[in-house]
Amino acid sequence: MSSFFKQNRQSINEVAHELEVHPGTVWRWTIQGVKGRRLKTVQIGGRRYVLQSDLEAFLEQRDTNQGNSKSPDEQQRQAIAKARLDAEL
């Protein structure tokens, strides 16, 4: 079996729940992106998934683009989400 199928992946709803944002926000990241950077997805059996490596790269790029302009709440939510991602690795 291909290593692609062994990669950690999450549904759009799982990503939204983990990052504590609305699923529509995650969809917007996949379609419109944030400051020119889109969240990559893969389609498996008619469902869209986000690979963990793609999510991490997107969040890092988003952080770089936003700098320190995030609110303390947003910084805390993102720190929690990153810790959860790191714990799954």
Measured CA to CA in angstroms, residue 42 lies from 47, 54, 76 at distances of: 8, 10, 28
Predicted confidence band of residue 76 (pLDDT cuts 50, 70, 90): confident
What range does the domain containing 23 cover?
3-88
Q: What pLDDT sits at residue 34?
A: 86
- Global confidence as pTM: 0.64
Measured CA to CA in angstroms, residue 70 lies from 4, 63, 73, 74 at distances of: 34, 9, 8, 6
The H-assigned helical ranges of the chain are: 12-19, 23-31, 52-66, 72-88
Q: Total domain count for the chain? A: 1
Place of tokens 């990503």: 15
pLDDT digits (tens, 9 = 90+) for 1-59: 455 555 689 999 999 999 999 999 999 999 998 888 899 999 989 999 999 999 999 98
